[in-house]
C-alpha cells in the first residue's frame, strides 16, 4: 500500500468477505485488524479478497509473535528499497548527467548529436526493468486491471509517459526536448523518498517493538528429567518454569518454590523491587532481581500482562480517528481526479496554448507526479502510531485511536473518589452502635451471644454482622470491613442469600433476618428507619450504615488516604484548562473534606452509578467533550458514556475493559500528561493534514503552468511525505 486510497480499497475488499463485521487497515504498519461477525471469516478468503483488489496479504495467528513478524517484514522491505535506490542512482544519475552535459558531448560528426540520447535511451530502458522501476510499473498495471487507482498508478503513468515521449523524440529527431531525464529524476527521487520514509516509519513504530523486546523469546521449562530451554510459544498454562536471577519473567504465574525481589517497574512504575514468595503472583515482563523462582504458568503469550499491553497498543495504532477516516475517503477519490486533471492539462496546453506535444506531455507528467496523495495517507496514522507508542512507554495505555483524539478535546473531567483520587484501601476507623443497641443488644440476629454490658463486645458483634453481609462484595469499603473483622479474629457467618447494589450497598439474609450494609441513600431507598443514627462523620471519613430488617443498628466509619500526586494532578488539569469535578457515592461531608484537600470546587456526592452516567451526558450537551476517571464496577457505565474514559491499572476488570485509556502505574499525574500528549497529537495531525492538502492545492496549478518540471515534482512529492513523518516523530519528545 502506498497511499490513503490503497487503505480505503483494502478495507472495502476485506469488508466484502462473509463473516467480517468491520476491518481497519493501517498504512504505516501495514496491518489489517478484522472484527468477525457471528460466523467467523475464512482466512484464505480474506487473503484472496486483498489479492483481488490488487494487493497482497498474509495472516498472523494468535500464537505468532506479531511484532517480530512485522519487524522482519519491515527489515526485508528496507533492504529491498535500499537496493532499488542504489540501482536508481547508478542508472538515473548518468542519464541526468548526460542531459545536463549534452551540449558539450555533442560533436559535429555525422550522428554526433544523437549518440548522447541513444545512451540515455539504453540506460533508461535498463532502469525501467530494474527493481527501482519494475515493481512500480507492475503495481500501476495491476491498479488499472483491478480498477483501483493509487499512487503507484500516478507514478507509473508519469514515468511511462516521460519514457515513451523520450523514445518518440529520439525517433523523430527532436532530441532537444528528450524526456529521459525527467523519467530518471522521478524514479531517483521516488526511491529515495520511499527509503527515507521506510526508515522514518520504523522510528515511528519502534515503541511497540521496544515493549515486545522486554519479553524473552525462551524460558526454562521444568520437567521430571530436569530443565530444558523452550520457545515462549511452546509454553502452556500449567507448565512449571524456572526463573533465574536477573531474568525477565516470561509468563504470568504463581510461585511454587523460592522467594525473590521482583522489579515490577515495567508494569507498575514502582522502582523498589517487591518481595515475592510461595503462593504469590508474578507477571510477565517483570524482572527477578535476587532469588530463584519456580512458577506455574497461569496466563501465557497474548493473555499475559505484557501481552495484553502490547495487544492494546497494536489495536490503538490500527484504529482510526475521525480526521483519518475523512482523509482516507478524500484520498480514495483523489487519484482519479488527478489523472483527469493531467489529461485536461495535456489537452488544454496542446489545443489552446499552442504548446508542442512534448511540452504538453511534460506538464501532464508533472501534474501526475506532484499530486500523489501519499502525504494525506500518512498524516494521521503516523502521528497516532508515535503518540500511542510513546504513551505506552510512559505508562499510558491507549486502546483506541479515537479516544486519543477525544482526550485532546476534553474541557471537563469527572473523577470518582474512592479508589481513584484516594488509594482505595480504606481502613476501619470506628464502629458505632446505635444508642438503643448498647442497652438491648442486636436482637438475636447473630449466632453468638451478645455482651450488652461491654460496648466492645457490641462493636465486635456489629462489625461481625457487617462483615458477614459484605464478604462477597468487591467494593473497597466492603473489603476493608471484612479485613478489620479478620484482624479482630471475628467469625463471619455465610449468608443464605446475597444481593449487591453497585455503588450503594448490599442486602444479605443472615439467620433468617435481612441485613443491609451501605450508604445513607441506600438505606432510604430500602425504607430503613434511621431515627437513631447520625451518619455525619468527622475528618472526611466514609460512613457505612448497618441495618437489620427495617431498623438501622449502627454505623462503621472508614478513612482513606489520598493517592500520591493527587493534588498535583488536579492542579495539572486546571493548568490545561480542564475543569475537575468530583462524583462519588459517598456522603456529602466525606466528599467535601476530600475535595477541599484537592482544591476541587464542584462536588457531587451520594450519586448512584446511573446518576454518574447522567452527569456525564448532561455535560456533553452542545458538543462538549467530557472525560471520566474511575476504577470500580460502579464506574463502568460512566466510563463507557464519556468521550474519553480513564482508569487505573489496579481497577476492576470491568472498568479496565470499558475505559479506552489505562494509567499503568496508577500515577494520577499521567492523566494530565495523557491529555497534554493527546492535544499535541491533535495539533500535529492538523498540521500534517493542512500541509498535505495545501501542498496539493498549490502544487497542481504550478505543475500545469509549467513552473515545475517532472523531476522537481518528484522531489517535492518526496519531501511532502517525509515532512509529514518527521513532523509526527516530534511527538516522541512529548
Could you report the per-residue pLDDT of 319-378, keeping only the tens digit for each?
A: 666 776 676 667 667 778 888 888 898 898 888 877 777 778 888 888 887 876 677 767
Give the number of C-alpha atoms closer than 13 A to the C-alpha of residue 370, restricted to the C-beta side. 30
CATH superfamily of 427-559: Calcium-transporting ATPase, cytoplasmic domain N (3.40.1110.10)
Mean per-residue pLDDT, 426-431:
85
The residue count of the chain comes to: 734
Q: Quick one: pLDDT band at residue 207, thresholds 50, 70, 90?
A: low
> Buried b vs exposed e over 9-44: b needs ≥16 C-beta within 10 Å?
bbbebbeebeebeebbbbbbbebbbbeeeeeebeee
Q: What is the 3-state secondary structure (H, E, C) of 602-643?
A: EEECCCCHHHHHHHHHHHCHHHCCEEEECCCHHHHHHHHHCC
User: What is the Cα–Cα distance from 51 to 544, expressed in whole angstroms?
Assistant: 63
Of 97-106, 395-404, 431-440, 507-516, give the range with the top mean pLDDT.
507-516
Q: pTM of this prediction? A: 0.65
- pLDDT of residue 418 exceeding 50, the answer is yes
Q: Quick one: pLDDT band at residue 444, thresholds 50, 70, 90?
A: very low
pLDDT confidence of residue 212: 64
Write out pLDDT tens, residues 162-174. 888 788 877 776 6
Between 271-285, 490-504, 650-664, the lowest mean confidence (pLDDT) is in 650-664
Choose among 439, 432, 444, 489: nearest CA to 464: 489
Mean per-residue pLDDT, 31-46:
88
Between 42-51, 131-140, 451-460, 511-520, the lowest mean confidence (pLDDT) is in 451-460
Here the cell at position 158 is 508519469
Strand pairing category for 505-510 and 513-518: antiparallel
User: What is the Cα–Cα distance from 601 to 582, expressed in whole angstroms?
Assistant: 8
Mean per-residue pLDDT, 651-666:
69
CATH superfamily of 396-423+562-666: HAD superfamily/HAD-like (3.40.50.1000)
Q: What is the DSSP letter of 529?
A: B
Asked if 719 contacts 372 with a C-beta cutoff of 8 angstroms, the reply is no
Asked if 544 contacts 481 with a C-beta cutoff of 8 angstroms, the reply is yes
- pLDDT of residue 438 exceeding 50, the answer is no
More confident residue, 198 or 318: 198
Strand pairing category for 579-583 and 412-415: parallel
Q: What distances in angstroms separate CA 76 from CA 69, 73, 194, 718, one per listed residue?
A: 11, 5, 14, 21
Choose among 311, 300, 303: nearest CA to 219: 300
Of 181, 416, 460, 666, which one is the catalytic site residue? 416
Quote the longest CA-to-CA distance of the chain.
129
Name residues whose C-beta falls within 8 Å of residue 201's C-beta, 6 or more positions apart in sequence: 28, 74, 382, 725
Here the cell at position 49 is 479478497
Residue located via cell numbers 515513451: 164
Name residues whose C-beta falls within 8 Å of residue 570's C-beta, 6 or more positions apart in sequence: 580, 598, 599, 600
Between 11-15, 74-78, 615-619, the lowest mean confidence (pLDDT) is in 74-78
Q: How would you class 438 by CB atoms within 10 Å of its CB: exposed for 0-12, middle for 13-18, buried for 19 or more?
A: middle
Give the number of C-alpha atoms closer than 13 A to the C-alpha of residue 84, restricted to the C-beta side. 26
Q: Quick one: pLDDT band at residue 481, thresholds 50, 70, 90?
A: very high
pLDDT confidence of residue 317: 57
pLDDT confidence of residue 63: 40
Write the class of the CATH domain 216-303.
mainly beta
Write out pLDDT tens, residues 503-530. 788 999 988 889 999 888 888 888 888 7
- pLDDT of residue 282 exceeding 60, the answer is yes
Choose among 481, 495, 465, 622: nearest CA to 557: 481
pLDDT confidence of residue 453: 47
- pLDDT of residue 254 exceeding 80, the answer is yes
Strand pairing category for 661-663 and 396-398: antiparallel
- pLDDT of residue 175 exceeding 90, the answer is no
pLDDT confidence of residue 573: 94
pLDDT confidence of residue 671: 93
Name residues whose C-beta falls within 8 Å of residue 130's C-beta, 6 or more positions apart in sequence: 84, 87, 88, 91
Q: Quick one: pLDDT band at residue 410, thresholds 50, 70, 90?
A: very high
User: What is the Cα–Cα distance from 324 to 408, expressed in whole angstroms?
Assistant: 15
pLDDT confidence of residue 571: 94
Residue located via cell numbers 455465610: 494
User: What is the Cα–Cα distance from 243 to 265, expressed in whole angstroms?
Assistant: 18
pLDDT confidence of residue 602: 92
For the chain, the domains span 6-49, 68-207+319-387+682-733, 216-303, 396-423+562-666, 427-559
pLDDT confidence of residue 451: 44
Helix axes 357-370, 322-351, angle to 10 degrees: 180
Residue located via cell numbers 508474578: 282
First-residue to last-residue Cα distance in the chain? 29
User: What is the Cα–Cα distance from 95 to 379, expressed in whole angstroms?
Assistant: 34
Write out pLDDT tens, residues 79-113. 888 999 999 999 988 988 887 787 676 655 655 56
The question of whether 290 is a catalytic residue gets the answer no
Residue 225 DSSP SS3: coil
Q: What distances in angstroms separate CA 599 from CA 567, 579, 580, 582, one per listed residue?
A: 8, 11, 9, 11
Here the cell at position 91 is 542508472
Give the number of C-alpha atoms closer than 13 A to the C-alpha of residue 711, restricted to the C-beta side. 14
pLDDT confidence of residue 201: 63
Here the cell at position 346 is 495535456
- pLDDT of residue 387 exceeding 70, the answer is yes
Residue 315 DSSP SS3: helix
Amino acid at each position: 500500500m502506498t497511499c490513503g486510497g490503497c487503505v480505503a480499497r483494502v478495507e472495502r475488499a476485506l469488508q466484502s468477505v462473509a463473516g467480517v463485521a468491520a476491518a481497519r487497515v493501517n498504512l504505516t504498519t501495514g496491518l489489517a485488524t478484522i472484527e468477525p461477525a457471528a460466523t467467523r471469516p475464512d482466512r484464505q478468503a480474506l487473503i484472496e479478497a486483498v489479492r483481488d483488489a490488487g494487493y497482497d496479504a498474509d495472516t498472523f495467528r494468535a500464537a505468532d509473535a506479531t511484532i517480530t513478524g512485522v519487524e522482519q517484514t519491515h527489515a526485508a522491505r528496507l533492504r529491498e528499497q535500499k537496493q532499488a535506490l542504489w540501482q536508481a542512482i547508478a542508472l538515473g544519475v548518468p542519464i541526468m548527467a548526460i542531459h545536463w552535459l549534452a551540449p558539450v558531448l555533442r560533436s559535429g560528426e555525422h550522428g554526433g548529436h544523437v549518440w548522447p540520447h541513444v545512451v540515455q535511451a539504453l540506460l533508461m530502458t535498463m532502469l525501467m526493468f530494474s527493481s527501482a522501476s519494475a515493481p512500480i510499473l507492475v503495481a500501476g498495471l495491476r491498479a488499472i486491471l483491478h480498477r483501483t487507482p493509487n499512487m503507484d498508478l500516478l507514478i507509473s503513468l508519469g514515468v511511462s509517459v516521460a519514457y515513451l515521449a523520450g523514445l518518440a523524440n529520439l525517433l523523430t529527431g527532436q532530441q532537444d526536448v528528450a524526456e529521459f531525464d525527467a523519467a530518471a529524476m522521478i524514479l531517483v527521487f521516488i526511491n529515495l523518498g520511499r527509503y527515507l520514509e521506510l526508515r522514518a516509519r520504523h522510528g515511528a513504530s519502534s515503541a511497540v517493538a521496544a515493549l515486545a523486546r522486554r519479553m524473552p523469546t525462551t524460558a526454562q521449562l521444568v520437567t521430571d528429567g530436569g530443565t530444558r530451554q523452550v520457545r515462549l510459544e511452546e509454553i502452556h498454562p500449567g507448565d512449571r518454569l524456572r526463573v533465574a536471577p536477573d531474568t525477565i519473567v516470561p509468563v504470568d504465574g504463581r510461585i511454587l518454590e523460592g522467594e525473590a525481589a521482583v522489579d515490577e517497574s515495567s508494569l507498575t512504575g514502582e522502582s523498589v523491587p517487591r518481595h515475592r514468595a510461595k503462593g504469590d503472583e508474578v507477571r510477565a515482563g517483570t524482572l527477578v532481581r535476587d532469588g530463584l523462582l519456580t512458577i506455574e504458568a497461569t496466563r501465557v503469550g497474548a493473555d499475559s500482562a505484557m501481552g495484553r499491553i502490547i495487544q492494546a497498543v497494536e489495536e490503538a495504532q490500527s484504529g482510526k480517528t475521525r480526521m483519518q477516516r475523512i482523509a482516507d475517503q478524500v484520498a480514495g477519490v483523489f487519484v482519479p481526479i488527478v489523472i483527469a486533471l493531467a489529461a485536461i492539462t495535456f489537452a488544454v496546453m496542446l489545443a489552446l496554448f499552442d504548446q508542442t506535444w512534448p511540452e504538453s506531455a511534460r506538464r501532464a507528467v508533472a501534474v501526475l507526479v506532484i499530486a500523489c496523495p501519499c502525504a494525506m495517507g500518512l498524516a494521521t496514522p503516523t502521528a497516532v502510531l508515535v503518540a500511542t507508542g510513546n504513551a505506552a512507554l510512559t505508562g499510558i495505555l491507549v486502546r483506541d485511536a479515537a479516544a486519543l483524539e477525544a482526550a485532546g478535546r476534553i474541557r471537563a473531567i469527572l473523577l470518582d473518589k474512592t479508589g481513584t483520587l484516594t488509594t482505595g484501601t480504606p481502613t476501619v476507623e470506628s464502629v458505632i452502635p446505635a444508642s438503643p443497641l448498647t442497652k438491648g443488644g442486636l436482637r438475636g440476629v447473630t449466632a453468638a451471644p451478645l455482651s450488652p454490658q461491654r460496648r466492645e463486645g457490641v462493636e465486635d458483634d456489629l462489625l461481625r454482622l457487617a462483615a458477614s453481609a459484605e464478604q462477597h462484595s468487591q467494593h473497597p469499603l466492603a473489603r476493608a470491613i471484612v479485613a478489620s473483622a479478620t484482624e479482630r479474629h471475628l467469625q463471619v457467618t455465610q449468608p443464605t442469600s446475597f444481593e449487591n447494589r453497585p455503588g450503594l450497598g448490599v442486602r444479605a439474609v443472615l439467620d433468617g433476618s435481612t441485613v443491609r450494609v451501605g450508604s445513607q441513600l441506600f438505606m432510604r431507598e430500602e425504607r430503613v428507619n434511621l431515627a437513631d443514627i447520625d451518619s455525619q462523620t468527622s475528618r472526611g471519613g466514609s460512613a457505612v450504615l448497618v441495618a437489620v430488617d427495617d431498623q438501622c443498628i449502627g454505623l462503621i466509619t472508614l478513612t482513606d488516604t489520598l493517592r500520591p500526586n493527587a493534588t498535583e494532578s488536579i492542579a495539572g488539569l486546571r493548568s490545561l484548562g480542564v475543569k475537575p469535578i468530583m462524583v462519588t457515592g459517598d456522603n456529602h461531608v466525606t466528599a467535601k473534606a476530600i475535595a477541599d484537600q484537592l482544591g476541587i470546587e464542584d462536588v457531587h456526592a451520594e450519586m448512584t452509578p446511573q446518576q454518574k452516567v447522567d452527569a456525564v451526558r448532561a455535560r456533553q450537551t452542545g458538543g462538549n467533550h467530557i472525560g471520566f476517571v474511575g476504577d470500580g464496577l460502579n464506574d463502568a457505565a460512566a466510563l463507557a458514556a464519556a468521550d474519553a474514559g480513564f482508569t487505573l491499572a489496579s481497577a476492576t476488570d470491568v472498568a479496565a475493559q470499558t475505559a479506552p485509556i489505562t494509567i499503568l502505574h496508577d500515577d494520577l499525574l499521567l492523566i494530565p500528561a495523557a491529555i497534554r500528549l493527546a492535544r499535541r497529537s491533535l495539533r500535529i495531525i492538523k498540521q500534517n493534514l493542512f500541509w498535505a492538502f495545501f501542498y496539493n492545492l498549490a502544487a497542481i496549478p504550478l505543475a500545469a503552468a509549467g513552473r515545475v518540471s517532472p523531476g522537481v515534482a518528484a522531489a517535492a512529492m518526496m519531501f511532502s511525505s517525509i515532512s509529514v513523518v518527521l513532523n509526527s516523530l516530534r511527538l516522541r519528545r512529548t
